[in-house]
Amino acid sequence: MKKFIALLSTVIIAATAFAGEFPDVSIAEVKALLGTKKATIIDVNGSESYAAGHVPGALDFDAIEKNFAKSLPEDKNALVIAYCGNPRCTAYQAAAKAAEKLGYKNVKHMSAGISGWKKAGEAVEKAK
């Protein structure tokens, strides 16, 4: 029994570690934030995907990566939301970890990604 409990504890700890390093934010929450200037939204799908359609107001991580700090607000407590393609995609971590490394304390992940955004019937913005 002790071995079973130890094994179960290990599985739970491992599952928690892989559940996601950053808190999830829903499509509805992101939609409510659009236009409020209360969040910086980062698309980490690549410039080609970004041009084809992204969450309105999102920034193209590929285009801003070299000067990422300049694209983020001065307030290190400001909300930064990163997303990529879908719930299984981990590309968002590049932007989320970069923001965290710069000292941002409120970094979240829209795990539904652009695919979930579109499936929910939300409008996308195309690059000009």
pLDDT above 80 (res 19): no
Question: Average pLDDT in the 39-54 region?
Answer: 97
Confidence (pLDDT) at 14: 35
Calpha distance 102→68 (Å, rounded): 9
Question: What are 41's strand-pairing partners?
Answer: 81
CATH number at 22-119: 3.40.250.10
pLDDT above 70 (res 41): yes
Calpha distance 117→84 (Å, rounded): 11
Contact status, residue 68 vs residue 110, Cβ threshold 8 Å: no
Confidence (pLDDT) at 106: 97
Compute the Cα dihedral for 46, 51, 53, 58 and give only its sign.
Answer: positive
pTM exceeding the 0.75 threshold for the entire prediction: yes
Give me the percent of the chain exceeding a pLDDT of 90. Answer: 80
